[in-house]
């Protein structure tokens, strides 16, 4: 017993009115993983097949397979043929299994050999369908907090996570054999998810531990859904893919919450990180003093008693508060001085870089002792930062000393000494005069 492809041209709207069955998948929602085949317009008065035997697929019946559906022809509880290709198929009791693998290639043959019809007398014939679309929106939530060691906080934190995940059936024959309960004509993912949800949560704990070992911040977990899916796939592939023919496709973390102890620890760590800044720390101290004065003024026993108590307290704590404030001010001053020092150092470095730049007579800008284009050494003349050209060790205009590396004078201009020709760019003449052919050299410098 098997199936063969039917000619598309032979399939018309009147096919369901014939005595042979036309079978399609029952209603399949986005959460349905398995359903049986049903006759098209079974109760229609025009359908003349009113004496058909239950659980029997007549020879010559047509089976319709739609996109993203896997159809199995089952005889006596054993799969005798299947197809993963959309189209119309005709049941032929005299043919061998056709095995239309479709998108799965040859990967289904091994699974088929395990569960195929073994030659026993058939007692019933049925058509079943498996949903090959991604089954989305499977909700999960951690019942107990998951431990997560965060290197940034250097502490073991505990969190609860809620969200959804999705699966995809990768081997429908294996999925039918291992995951679908027998004597069921329809199965939604919620009907079989209890065991898988427990396994998923166990894998989620392992995936979280792996992310922790890889140094991921706990606050970044919600934005690492793709990485989390890869971790979970690696953990669950052995049990889900190899044993049940399904895989994790994606994981979406909707929310993460911490237990009370972890929340307190995170807040304390964040507050401590803020108080490292002396400006914030000084503001916190001054604010505490101001809040103490405000509280003393609203004392129920009278403002005078409040200020008296505050005065006594300030005598005991004033020295320490003053010391802390003084330390903050010193650190702020040190930071400001350090910032000014770095800024001045950067300015000096920039100025030195500018002063070291010089232009060769060939027009090339250089910073070393020799021109990188023509190899000429750096000239003796130099230009001060005030704009004065000098030849001595000090500027004749402002008295500044000559830097170690100084810019050369303005580039020389050339005029042909033979015919008087002036190049278009006098500072970059050609090798020979285009008018008389005389070579340009030091004799042609016109300044």
Percent of the chain with pLDDT over 90: 10
Q: Are residues 102 and 162 in the same domain?
A: no
pLDDT of residue 330: 67
pLDDT higher for 252 or 346?
252
How far apart, in Å, do the first and last CA atoms of the chain sit? Answer: 106
pLDDT of residue 9: 44
- The whole-number average pLDDT for the span 437-443 is 84
Is the CB of residue 133 less than 8 Å from the CB of residue 147? Answer: no
pLDDT higher for 260 or 9?
260
Q: Are residues 257 and 329 in the same domain?
A: no
pLDDT higher for 126 or 381?
126
- The whole-number average pLDDT for the span 16-44 is 77
- In angstroms, how far is CA 327 from the centroid of its own chain? 44
Q: Which range of residues forms the domain containing residue 187?
A: 135-264
Distance in angstroms (rounded) separating the CA atoms of residues 109 and 114: 9
Q: Which of the listed residues 86, 113, 131 is the one where a domain comes to its end?
A: 131
Q: Are residues 39 and 110 in the same domain?
A: yes
Residue 318 host element (H or E): helix 303-356
Q: Are residues 118 and 29 in the same domain?
A: yes
pLDDT of residue 291: 58
Q: Are residues 193 and 240 in the same domain?
A: yes
pLDDT higher for 268 or 368?
268
For 374-424, strand residue ranges (E) read 382-383, 389-390
pLDDT of residue 95: 60
For residue 47, pLDDT beyond 60: no
Q: Are residues 119 and 213 in the same domain?
A: no
- Give the pLDDT band (50/70/90) at residue 379: low
Does 394 reside within a domain? no
Does 309 reside within a domain? yes
Distance in angstroms (rounded) separating the CA atoms of residues 401 and 81: 98
Q: Are residues 25 and 58 in the same domain?
A: yes
Q: Are residues 20 and 102 in the same domain?
A: yes
Distance in angstroms (rounded) separating the CA atoms of residues 149 and 161: 15
Q: Which of the listed residues 107, 131, 155 is the one where a domain comes to its end?
A: 131
Task: Please count the other Cβ atoms lying within 10 Å of the Cβ belonging to residue 221.
Answer: 22
Percent of the chain with pLDDT over 70: 63
- The whole-number average pLDDT for the span 99-111 is 64
Least confident of 19-23, 393-397, 443-447: 19-23
Q: How many folded domains does the chain comprise? A: 3
Is the CB of residue 97 less than 8 Å from the CB of residue 13? Answer: no
Least confident of 18-32, 129-143, 260-274: 260-274
Between strands 22-25 and 155-169, the pairing is unpaired
CATH of the domain at 242: 3.30.479.30
Angle at 98 between CA 92 and CA 104, to 5 degrees: 140
Residue 348 host element (H or E): helix 303-356
- Give the pLDDT band (50/70/90) at residue 414: confident
- The whole-number average pLDDT for the span 318-332 is 59
Q: Are residues 150 and 252 in the same domain?
A: yes
**Structure tokens of 307?**
């200020």
- Please identify which residue in the block is written with the tokens 């049941």: 91
pLDDT of residue 272: 63
């Amino acid at each position: 017993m098997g199936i063969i492809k039917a000619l598309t041209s032979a399939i018309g709207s009147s096919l369901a009115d014939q005595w042979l069955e036309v079978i399609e998948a029952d209603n399949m929602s986005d959460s349905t993983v398995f359903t049986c085949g049903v006759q098209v317009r079974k109760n229609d008065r025009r359908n003349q097949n009113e004496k058909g035997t239950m659980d029997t697929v007549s020879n010559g019946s047509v089976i319709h397979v739609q996109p993203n559906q896997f159809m199995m022809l089952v005889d006596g509880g054993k799969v005798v043929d299947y197809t993963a290709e959309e189209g119309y198929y005709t049941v032929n009791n005299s043919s061998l299994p056709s095995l239309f693998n479709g998108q799965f290639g040859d990967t289904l043959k091994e699974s088929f050999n395990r569960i195929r019809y073994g030659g026993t007398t058939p007692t019933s014939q049925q058509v079943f369908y498996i949903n090959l679309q991604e089954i989305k929106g499977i909700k999960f939530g951690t019942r107990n907090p998951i431990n997560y060691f965060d290197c940034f906080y250097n502490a073991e934190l505990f969190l609860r996570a809620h969200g959804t995940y999705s699966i995809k059936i990768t081997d429908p024959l294996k999925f039918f054999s291992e995951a679908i309960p027998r004597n069921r004509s329809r199965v939604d993912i919620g009907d079989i998810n209890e065991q898988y949800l427990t396994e998923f949560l166990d894998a989620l704990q392992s995936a979280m531990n792996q992310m922790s070992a890889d140094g991921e911040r706990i606050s970044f977990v919600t934005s690492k859904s793709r990485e989390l899916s890869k971790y979970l796939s690696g953990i669950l592939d052995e049990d889900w893919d190899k044993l049940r023919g399904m895989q994790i496709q994606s994981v979406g973390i909707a929310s993460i919450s911490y237990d009370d102890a972890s929340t307190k620890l995170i807040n304390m760590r964040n507050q401590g990180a803020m108080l490292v800044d002396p400006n914030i720390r000084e503001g916190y101290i001054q604010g505490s003093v101001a809040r103490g004065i405000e509280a003393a003024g609203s004392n129920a026993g009278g403002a005078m008693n409040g200020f008296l108590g505050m005065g006594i307290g300030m005598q005991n704590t004033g020295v320490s508060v003053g010391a802390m404030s003084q330390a903050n001010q010193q650190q702020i001053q040190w930071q400001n001085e350090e910032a000014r020092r770095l800024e001045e150092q950067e300015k000096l470095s920039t100025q030195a870089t500018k002063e070291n730049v010089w232009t060769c007579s060939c027009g090339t800008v250089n910073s070393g002792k020799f021109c990188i284009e023509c190899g000429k050494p750096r000239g003796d003349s130099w230009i001060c930062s005030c704009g004065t050209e000098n030849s001595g060790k000090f500027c004749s205009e402002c008295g500044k000393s000559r830097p170690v590396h100084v810019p050369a004078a303005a580039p020389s201009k050339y005029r042909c000494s033979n015919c008087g020709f002036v190049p278009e760019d006098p500072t970059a003449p050609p090798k020979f005069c285009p008018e008389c052919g005389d070579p340009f050299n030091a004799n042609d410098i016109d300044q």
